[in-house]
Chain A
């Protein structure tokens, strides 16, 4: 399976944020999307998630050589600021999600099994989500994406404000989830991208560019990425 971006462009008034992007992502890999602040990472994600309408271009999924349009079931989106309905408890949110999506959930398990998997403690499962910590809300967003098993999982700065233990748990979880799907993780923390991602893609000047690792060791690869990001300043 491949996720194919063709000729995507998006401008805000006169500012061109995405310029005729062409890129293909492959299943089974975690992609690290790097870019300076304001480079357009969130704009790209919002376009993929249909929150913003691109000015031109298309997003397609390619399966067995056949391309088809994306639909909402194909996409999972975890935002940097976790968004959950705060008037529900963790368990109620899970029940609601499963009720609505029962036709597409392949192997529905007991809610507690998911909570166990995400290390959400039994005493927290029946608390209102408004009383959850940032990390726990993030985990709830991840749970629903694990249950729904979307073909494309977008993560916008997912680990930035998590404590070290939760961040490590989430990294392991993402590694375990990458088979058979495409995970794109936007971040500006280089160490995280190098540690977790199989491929690094830069979003600079409104276009996506892969950074080839070639035969470089990790230090040289890191220097190459930083140099590529710095180049933006001199354009």
Chain B
């Protein structure tokens, strides 16, 4: 089993290292330093593997830090203070429900991802050994990366040290229990949680658990610590008992293939797989027509036949935002001391909008769909590459992307304005207008920014999703920019005004850059 794991881990490292070198070779100045023979240079390969390994460790560690810090520990102090309960009680309540959600959505036993497909179907690795060895690795990483942050946030929340030491094992135990439940479910009805068919059954369950993690504590109903800690600790022996069915299960190949079945036959190559995945996003409803002509006709049909992909996520995000807004409004309504805090935040901390709107904007999905299902084909036609054609379609797409991103931005703007009114208002009425308009302006900034990056640094190779180096650097730079903007503590009026002016100026500059350079840069890279 160890040998199988070594092989699969090495496969993943090599693939990721190659991707890293490929991306380096796309960065303007750095590419000159990378020799043609980069993929066969042992020193470069080792360097790339070390970077990838550090990145993987960082991802695990930062992931746990963010999860425990933001999702679990952050609400502990305000809730404990409000209801005068021990901090550890709140901590354990939230952790219990989130751990149960993790059992449903994040077991990592049957993944049905590209790596599993390559290992099991293409390289003919033993499916059971592959799945189990990677599962064990995942559980070990989970326990180890949780331990330091569980101690940190647990002790800060007055959870006893002995319990902090056992909680990572409880999380691992929960994953094992749910892994065994998955196997039981497969043996009985042939479905596991990762199967697309199970999504709609499990979605309401984990939404209920998510609400149970936060809503009852806000209203003062908190699971007693003996019960929450008891359930979590019970997961350790239950997890140990679950090891046996997980190891005894023999149908790992069958399960993996059933998860992959929808694309399996056409997944000879990565290129085909992505193409097939994107093709599946096309709604096969030819009754949706358009009465327009030219590029407006093309765009209208593109949007109508990709409605699920383009609008689905936006609608989901909007729904989640509406729920969060409802929660905040009930907090304002039922927890009077929160009003001053929220009012103060609305008037001084609106800079956080940048990172929130960055996280929810749909521009990357939009440009990927544009490339995979339209531009990848159309850019081979000379008429499509004419400067006039490129710019006309850019204008139409920009309008469309702003529309797609507008709904969540509008909900945030309206929500903040409403909350400001509910929490005592402001001496400067213009703040209402600023709170309403700033998210819409920032949304327009992200829409034009990402569409501009797509037109100027078209990052996709024909048929693949591999990103160009310059595009990745600028996309990361955008994140850093948002992060620094988030740290700014300016009064809302000043901040909002600067945002609106900056976004308007950027919008014009970005359009000018696209008009000047896109006819040369917007093409398929071979």
A95 at interface (Cβ–Cβ under 8 A)?
A: yes
Is the Cβ of A87 less than 8 Å from the Cβ of B306?
yes
B474-526 residues at the A interface, CB under 8 angstroms: 523-524, 526
Stretch at the interface among A22-30, A96-104, A164-172, A190-198: A96-104
Instruction: Give B34 Cβ to nearest chain A Cβ, in Å.
Output: 10
B377 at interface (Cβ–Cβ under 8 A)?
A: yes
Is the Cβ of A84 less than 8 Å from the Cβ of B377?
yes
Of A14, A75, A126, A128, which is in contact with the most chain B CB atoms at under 10 Å from its CB?
A: A128
A79 at interface (Cβ–Cβ under 8 A)?
A: yes
**Given A87-B301, A127-B286, residue A100 in contact with residue B377 (CB < 8 A):** no
Is the Cβ of A87 less than 8 Å from the Cβ of B382?
no
Chain B interface size range: 20 to 34
Stretch at the interface among A45-53, A181-189, A199-207, A208-216: A45-53
Within the assembled complex, what's the spacing in Å between the Cα atoms of A72 and B374? 19
**Given A72-B386, A130-B279, residue A77 in contact with residue B301 (CB < 8 A):** no
B265 at interface (Cβ–Cβ under 8 A)?
A: no
Interface majority SS (helix, strand, loop, mixed), chain B: helix
Q: What B residues does A50 contact at CB under 8 A?
A: 382, 385, 523
Is the Cβ of B286 less than 8 Å from the Cβ of A128?
yes
Is the Cβ of B297 less than 8 Å from the Cβ of A96?
yes
Instruction: Give B5 Cβ to nearest chain A Cβ, in Å.
Output: 37
A220 at interface (Cβ–Cβ under 8 A)?
A: no
A179 at interface (Cβ–Cβ under 8 A)?
A: no
Within the assembled complex, what's the spacing in Å between the Cα atoms of A204 and B386? 32
Q: What B residues does A72 contact at CB under 8 A?
A: 382-383, 385-386
B282 at interface (Cβ–Cβ under 8 A)?
A: yes
Closest to B293 in A: A99
Is the Cβ of B373 less than 8 Å from the Cβ of A99?
no
Instruction: Give B477 Cβ to nearest chain A Cβ, in Å.
Output: 27
B174-199 residues at the A interface, CB under 8 angstroms: none
B472 at interface (Cβ–Cβ under 8 A)?
A: no
A55 at interface (Cβ–Cβ under 8 A)?
A: no
Is the Cβ of A49 less than 8 Å from the Cβ of B382?
yes
Is the Cβ of B526 less than 8 Å from the Cβ of A51?
yes
Is the Cβ of B374 less than 8 Å from the Cβ of A87?
yes
**Given A72-B385, A87-B301, residue A96 in contact with residue B294 (CB < 8 A):** yes
Closest to B377 in A: A83
B111 at interface (Cβ–Cβ under 8 A)?
A: no
B295 at interface (Cβ–Cβ under 8 A)?
A: yes
Task: Out of A52, A100, A126, name the residue touching B389 (CB < 8 Å).
Answer: A100
B12 at interface (Cβ–Cβ under 8 A)?
A: no
Q: What B residues does A229 contact at CB under 8 A?
A: none
Instruction: Give B463 Cβ to nearest chain A Cβ, in Å.
Output: 9
B45 at interface (Cβ–Cβ under 8 A)?
A: no
A144 at interface (Cβ–Cβ under 8 A)?
A: yes
Closest to B276 in A: A130
Within the assembled complex, what's the spacing in Å between the Cα atoms of A89 and B301? 10
Closest to B372 in A: A86
Is the Cβ of A101 less than 8 Å from the Cβ of B383?
yes
**Given A85-B377, A85-B378, A96-B298, residue A46 in contact with residue B286 (CB < 8 A):** no
A88 at interface (Cβ–Cβ under 8 A)?
A: yes
**Given A13-B36, A100-B294, residue A128 in contact with residue B301 (CB < 8 A):** no
Q: What B residues does A150 contact at CB under 8 A?
A: 382
Is the Cβ of B383 less than 8 Å from the Cβ of A100?
yes
B305 at interface (Cβ–Cβ under 8 A)?
A: yes
B142 at interface (Cβ–Cβ under 8 A)?
A: no
Q: What B residues does A88 contact at CB under 8 A?
A: 298, 301
Closest to B278 in A: A86
Is the Cβ of A14 less than 8 Å from the Cβ of B36?
yes
Is the Cβ of B301 less than 8 Å from the Cβ of A92?
yes
Task: Out of A52, A77, A89, A128, name the residue touching B381 (CB < 8 Å).
Answer: A77
Q: What B residues does A128 contact at CB under 8 A?
A: 282, 284, 286, 305
Instruction: Give A35 Cβ to nearest chain B Cβ, in Å.
Output: 17
Of A76, A77, A100, A101, which is in contact with the most chain B CB atoms at under 10 Å from its CB?
A: A100
Q: What A residues does B282 contact at CB under 8 A?
A: 86-87, 128, 130
Instruction: Give B31 Cβ to nearest chain A Cβ, in Å.
Output: 10
A73 at interface (Cβ–Cβ under 8 A)?
A: yes
B60 at interface (Cβ–Cβ under 8 A)?
A: no
Q: What A residues does B386 contact at CB under 8 A?
A: 72
Within the assembled complex, what's the spacing in Å between the Cα atoms of A89 and B289? 10
Within the assembled complex, what's the spacing in Å between the Cα atoms of A87 and B275? 13
Task: Out of A14, A51, A99, name the residue touching B523 (CB < 8 Å).
Answer: A51
Of B297, B301, B382, which is in contact with the most chain A CB atoms at under 10 Å from its CB?
A: B382
Closest to A42 in B: B526
A219-234 residues at the B interface, CB under 8 angstroms: none
Of B282, B293, B298, B377, which is in contact with the most chain A CB atoms at under 10 Å from its CB?
A: B377
Within the assembled complex, what's the spacing in Å between the Cα atoms of A175 and B379? 27
Instruction: Give B524 Cβ to nearest chain A Cβ, in Å.
Output: 6
Task: Out of A73, A79, A95, name the residue touching B297 (CB < 8 Å).
Answer: A95
**Given A128-B284, A130-B279, residue A46 in contact with residue B526 (CB < 8 A):** yes
Residues of A at the B interface (CB closer than 8 Å) are 13-14, 46, 49-52, 72-73, 75-77, 79, 83-89, 92, 95-97, 99-101, 126-128, 130-131, 144, 148, 150
CB-CB nearest 9 A-B residue pairs: A72-B382, A83-B377, A99-B294, A87-B305, A99-B293, A87-B282, A13-B36, A83-B380, A75-B382
Residues of B at the A interface (CB closer than 8 Å) are 36, 279, 282, 284, 286, 293-295, 297-298, 301-302, 305-306, 373-374, 376-383, 385-386, 389, 523-524, 526
| Between-chain CB contacts (< 8 Å), 30 pairs | A14-B36, A46-B526, A50-B382, A50-B385, A51-B526, A72-B383, A72-B385, A73-B382, A73-B383, A76-B382, A77-B381, A77-B382, A84-B377, A85-B378, A87-B305, A87-B306, A87-B373, A88-B298, A88-B301, A92-B297, A92-B301, A96-B298, A100-B294, A100-B383, A100-B389, A126-B286, A127-B286, A128-B284, A128-B305, A130-B279
Give 9 new A-B contacts, CB below 8 A, not counting A130-B279, A148-B383.
A46-B526, A51-B524, A72-B382, A73-B382, A87-B301, A96-B298, A100-B294, A100-B389, A150-B382
